[in-house]
Amino acid sequence: MGNIPFSLYISLAYLEGISVLFFLFVFLKVHWSKKELIIFSGAYAISTFLLRKLPISFGIHSLILVCLVSGFLTYYYKTKLSSAVFGLILVFSIIIITEIISAFLISKLFLLNYNTILGEPLWWFLSGLPHVVIIIILSMLIRKFGR
């Protein structure tokens, strides 16, 4: 996270939470409300912030987040644990791929190195937005055409 301001981090994490949870709700075919999406996205954002502050190896926080969110979905929405874990692995894979591609494209289009993209708050935020949009579009397609 480096020198990313808390408000900017929470903003992107909240948007990511909306996209991830929307994807999972659609993928797992659970009944949900907009209020639940808003509240749980806030909890997701705070959880990701707190997990990234822990002194653990990179990537472990994502595994912990998969466990927390899949446990929550299984408990609260009575989904199958295996389906929740699969949905989270799928959506996190999409996030990883789109973050790599967007950072690469931003670096080539604006002639920036990766340290600038990851270290400058505005570039970091902008490189994180594409995966949010792609996941929401994918979720809407799944909702419309089924999985």
What pLDDT was estimated at residue 119?
A: 86
- Tens of pLDDT, residue by residue over 116-139, are 888 889 998 998 999 999 999 999
At residue 63, the pLDDT reads: 94
Mean pLDDT of 8-17: 96
Provide the pLDDT for residue 117: 86
- Residues in contact with 139: Cβ distance below 8 Å, sequence separation at least 6, in sequence order: 19, 22, 23, 26, 27
- CB proximity list for 136: less than 8 A, separation 6 or greater: 18, 19, 22, 23
Residue 113 CA to residue 111 CA, distance in Å, equals: 7
- pLDDT given at position 92: 95
Confidence label for 87 from pLDDT (cuts 50, 70 and 90) = very high
What is the per-residue pLDDT for 49? Answer: 94
Strand ranges, E, within 2-143:
none
| Integer angstrom CA distances of residue 23 from 36, 60, 82, 122, 127 | 14, 22, 16, 26, 20
**Does 74 have pLDDT greater than 60?**
yes
The pLDDT of residue 31 is above 90: yes
**Position 53, amino acid:** K
Q: Kindly report the pTM of this predicted structure.
A: 0.92
Q: What is the DSSP letter of 2?
A: T
Mean pLDDT for 64-68 is 95
